[in-house]
Structure formats: C-alpha cells, structure tokens
Amino acid sequence: MKNRFLLPSILFVFLLIAKSPPVFSQIIADHTVVDEYDKIPQVWIDEVKKMWVIVAGESHSKGFRIGCQLLESADSRFQVNIRESGTPEGYTDQYMRMSRATWGDFNSASGWIYNYGEEDWFTNATAIARTKAHLTYCNTNNLQIAAMGFGWCWDMTSDNWPGGTPDPVYQVRWAGRSYSGPEGSLRWGLNSEDQSSTNNSVCMDTYLNATQDYMDYCQQNAYPTKMFFTTGPVDGNSNRSENGFQRNIKHQYMKDFVLASSDRILFDYADILCYSDAGDQKTLPWTDFGGTQRTFPFIHDDNMLDLDGTYSEDGDHIGQRGALRLAKAMWWMLARMAGWDGQTLGESLLPLQPGIAYPNPAGDFIRIPVPANVSMLRVTITDITGKQFLEFLSPEKELIVDLKNFNPGIYLIGCHGSQGSEYHRFVKY
C-alpha cells in the first residue's frame, strides 16, 4: 500500500462530509420505516435472502413469521421460508429463512427447541450460557445466524400484576414475570434500585445486559450474527391502565439504552403496532399515584384486524395487518444490517467479484484488488453501522490494509466509482 493513499484521521471526517458517500445511521426499526420497505434496492433484498433470522420467543413471536408470509404473498420479491420444527435449513440465496429455532434452552443443553421464554434468554446464568452455546453451535456447524433477537411475550406485565410500593420517579407499581429467576417468578422493574419494591433482582437491566453480552460474544468470536434488541407486546385488555403504563416505561428505558451506543440495533415491536398504516397513533390515559394523568401507547385497533377487516386468533395475539407491518419493518432492518444505507433507492453496481477482499475472515491484514477496467475514485472501510475507519483515494491495482488495530467484527468495504457504489463484507477475527 502506498502511504499517499492513506489520509490522516482528521481528514476522514472532512471527506465523509464533503463527499457524497452513503450516509449510515443507527439501525432503529420503528413505525417510521414500515413504509420504507418497498424502497429497498433489489441488491439488498438479495442479500437478505441469504440470511437465517431467528426471533426466539413464545406465542407473540409468531407474528414475525406470519407477517413475512403475508408480505411474500403481497410482493413476490420478499421470499421467505418458515420452519417451525426439526433441523433448520442450511444456506440458500433463494429466500430469507426465518424461525425461532435454538439449539438447546434452559431445560435442555442440546436439541432443536422451538419455544423460548425469558427463562431461556436472560433471567438466570444458565439461560445466558445456553444461548451462547446455541450461538456457537450454529455458527460452527454450517448454520450461520445472520440476525437474532428475543420475541417478548407478556413477560413485562403478566402473572404478577402491579403491586408493591409505587416507584418514586414514575409513580407506578411494577408488574411482570421472571420464570427461573434467582428469586422465582416475581414482578420486576428497571434496575437494581427497584429490588426494594419488587424483591426481585431481575429487572430490565438484566435483559439489556444479557443481550449486550450476546452482542459482545459474537464479536469476540467473529460470528457474523447481529443481535438486536426488541420491545414487547402492546395488546391485551389487562394492559389498558397501570399495567400498560409501566410497560411503556420499560420500553422507553430500553430505547434509551439502545440509543446510547450506535452499534446497538432495535426492533421496536411496540411502536410499530401502536400506529396504523395511515400514521395515526393510539394512546390511552391513566392517572398515576401522584394524581397526574398520563398517556401511553397502545396497539392501534387496525393492527388487531386481519386483511379482510375481521379478526381471528392465529397464535400471535394480533391481526394480520399488524403482523404485516412487523414484516415490512423486519425486511428494512435486515437490509440495513446487510449494508444498505437506508436512503439509496438503486445502485449501478461496479463490475467487482464477490470475493474481492481476501483473506476473509481476515487477521492482521486484508488485500483489496482493484479491477483495471474500473475508474475507481474511493475505497472506504466502515463497520456495520456506517462508522468510517479508513478511506483511500484513487488506489491502484491492490490495497493491503493493516487491520491490527481493528476490533473483531463485521466490516464493509465500499468501492465508489463513477458508475456507482458496491459493498462487500468481511470479518475481522
């Protein structure tokens, strides 16, 4: 590599602003992106069709799978295959594979499981160890997981209704269940300070820390899996007052945590379902223990209806319209994970081969050949969130990039020329 192509880090920021590369932002899939799904360029739809996606959960998680099937029926570009039992399907580039399959759970160290609750994801040390073992088993047995998140059920509200001392800040009592937690299944709050009123060491921080731990584990082991955070259900008649208000506080607490670090990804299940396709949000009132009237989001009536305007329970506790909204936001999020900037509507790809960067996975360095028949203007290296690390101007036949100071993880090589831009992923181990 010739040093004249390596720009000082302070100049990287200037070039990022002065030039016009794709602008990446943190990946937050909420109601604002539902209508953006049909803007995903075909090249990124094709990338998503290479993915195996897991939303590990109980009944509510079925909404993701039902929605993806409905979207495929409405728009054949969004091909999906759902597997509800048995051994997960291996790699294909013909359709996105979605399931809730995990290798083992809290009760079983091995075997394919198709039901995952809070006791399997975050409430105890065994859950965390078994979920990590699942990530290792899949990613080392030709079943690479592209993306994985926890599909909440009514864990934030059910079984143990609001009780104990009202929280002094929010003026609400906590609720919820925590199966297999250290103190058993009790109501739970936001953090350790709430243990005095819940008698439960499990709290929202327990879920957040466990999911962050899975993120770090994948990066440390150079697994391609991107873990994402998820908010929970907003339906149910028992959630129309105090229960629903305390649930919304938990959702907001989670959002604040995700927004605190740009590499965290959020699928905002709750927010997506509180809005209709027309953009209307439904809220409900509740008067807190300090006498102040509050409002909180609740599932929009439209999202409890099927496509024909009626409602039939099909296992996910929401209507087909709501499930379809989840699917549209999911495809948007996955395309962003694959490398789409969320803005470019179409790309004229450069004539580069898929194996342009080698070795891949990479250790201390990576080689990037530059085709002789392309007038290449820039080569960039970014992480999956779009944070730019290096930029090279007008490189010649080959770049040899030093990666010694790069953390393990997934990166994107961006090749920007007069004909357009193309991105290639590589893993730094």
Rounded average pLDDT over 25-46: 93
pLDDT in tens, 332-349: 999 999 988 888 765 443
Asked if the model's pLDDT at residue 312 lies above 70, the reply is yes
Q: Are 23 and 341 in contact (CB under 8 A)?
A: yes
3-state secondary structure 1-39: CCHHHECCHHHHHHHHHHCCCCCCCCCEECHHHHHHHHH
Rounded average pLDDT over 260-264: 94
Residues making up the chain, counted from first to last: 429
pLDDT in tens, 47-96: 999 999 999 999 999 999 999 999 999 999 999 999 999 999 999 999 99
Q: Who has greater pLDDT, 351 or 381?
A: 381
Nearest to 386 by CA among 354, 352, 428, 338: 338
Give the range among 115-129, 220-234, 311-325, 402-416 with minimum mean pLDDT. 402-416
- pTM to 2 decimal places: 0.81
Average pLDDT, the chain: 89
Domain residues of the chain, as ranges? 3-22+350-428, 28-338
Nearest to 288 by CA among 417, 415, 163, 172: 172
Residue 47: burial class (beta carbons within 10 Å; 0-12, 13-18, 19+): buried
Nearest to 42 by CA among 82, 2, 79, 91: 79
> What CATH number belongs to 3-22+350-428?
2.60.40.3080
pLDDT at 392: 82
Nearest to 116 by CA among 124, 125, 127: 127
Nearest to 349 by CA among 49, 39, 42: 42
Nearest to 245 by CA among 234, 258, 256: 234
Residue 244's SS3 state is helix
CA 149, distance to chain mean position in Å, is 6
Question: From the DSSP assignment, how many helices (H) and strands (E) are in the chain?
Answer: 10, 17
Q: Are 122 and 210 in contact (CB under 8 A)?
A: yes
